[in-house]
Amino acid sequence: MDEKPFIVACIPAYNEEKTIAKVVLQAMKYASKVVVCDDGSRDMTGEIAERLGAVIIRHERNLGKGAALRSLFEVGRKIGADVFVTLDADGQHDPCEIPRLIKPIIDGRADIVIGSRYVGEAVLEAPFYRRVGLRVVNFLIRKSTKKGAVKDTQSGFRAFTAEALERIGLFESEGFGVESELLVSALMKGLRVVEVPVTVRYRGLMNTSKRNPFSHGGEIVSVIIRMIVEERPLLYLGLPGALLLMVSVTLGTYMLWLFNASRYFSIPVALITLGAASSGIVLIIAALILYALNRVFKRMGR
């Protein structure tokens, strides 16, 4: 970018009155505009951010991080953002690192930059269970997209060009699975993703996660699985459907042979045959529909 870009800091926030002031004030030093989505907070989060000069989006109830980011990106587009920076409101991310985060975009080397906990001199202060969970999710995403370059797939400290978000298009995740969905979509569309080392701190924060870690992890994994199935429906739905049909044909043949040989009609075998056949047909039909829809969306430039 030749001219200084218009940078919008996008901060989803839910009950973060203890930390929102510091995050907003620091972000204002490096962003052209700070936008905060008060996602149904029951405390003074929105009021504090508004008094400090941030643009406020208010959700009447808590809709989740994905919904908050959709609202933030929409407002960012309306005010003419060239670069969108997302960061958490609880102080995990240091706004002073925004210049480092956006540098690859400014230099024209990246469409998306991830503030990574696993590259260079990055500092990660996290509980053991978080580190294990992050590595598991990172592994699943790398395997699903066949891209091995991204080491920190769950970082919420990111920078996007306006063009990158346009290419990614609509995303469905309402909650914390949004990071996975955005990244998988970006990698599948061939966008340039670069990681830079950042500091992420959990120690000393009141609520590092507002959800049960198993529920959180389950949501992320379900999003990854959904995107894998949607991207390759013939493999992940059609193939199992075909196998089930083969099983039903085999069992049906055996059932007829048994009946002809002994005049015994096996009800359990018949039920299994019927279940396998119906399940196989449903999976094959779903695979064909998803495949056709993917072809249409790709031709439309989704």
Instruction: Return the H-helix or E-strand segment holding 7.
Output: strand 7-13
Q: What is the pTM of this model?
A: 0.71
Helix, strand, coil shares of the chain, percent, nearest 5, are 55, 15, 30
Question: Can you tell me the distance from the alpha carbon of 18 to that of 90, in angstroms, rounded to the nearest whole number?
Answer: 8
pLDDT band for position 110 (50/70/90)?
Answer: very high
- Average pLDDT of the chain is 84
Q: With H, G, I as helix, E, B as strand and everything else as coil, classify residue 212.
A: coil
Question: Can you tell me the distance from the alpha carbon of 66 to that of 71, in angstroms, rounded to the nearest whole number?
Answer: 9
C-alpha distances out from residue 195 to 12, 13, 112, 223, 261, Å: 21, 24, 9, 22, 67
Which residue would you say has higher pLDDT here, 179 or 76?
76
Identify the pLDDT of residue 3. Answer: 74
Whether 26 has a pLDDT exceeding 70, the answer reads yes
Give the model confidence (pLDDT) of 227-277 as tens digits: 666 667 887 788 889 999 999 999 999 999 988 999 888 899 999 999 999
Q: Where are the alpha helices (DSSP H) in 189-238?
A: 213-231, 233
Question: Can you tell me the distance from the alpha carbon of 53 to that of 215, in angstroms, rounded to the nearest whole number?
Answer: 35
What is the number of residues in the chain?
Answer: 302
Cα-based angle 164, 169, 175 (whole degrees, multiple of 5): 105
Average pLDDT for 197-222: 61
Q: With H, G, I as helix, E, B as strand and everything else as coil, classify residue 191.
A: coil
Residue type, 297: F
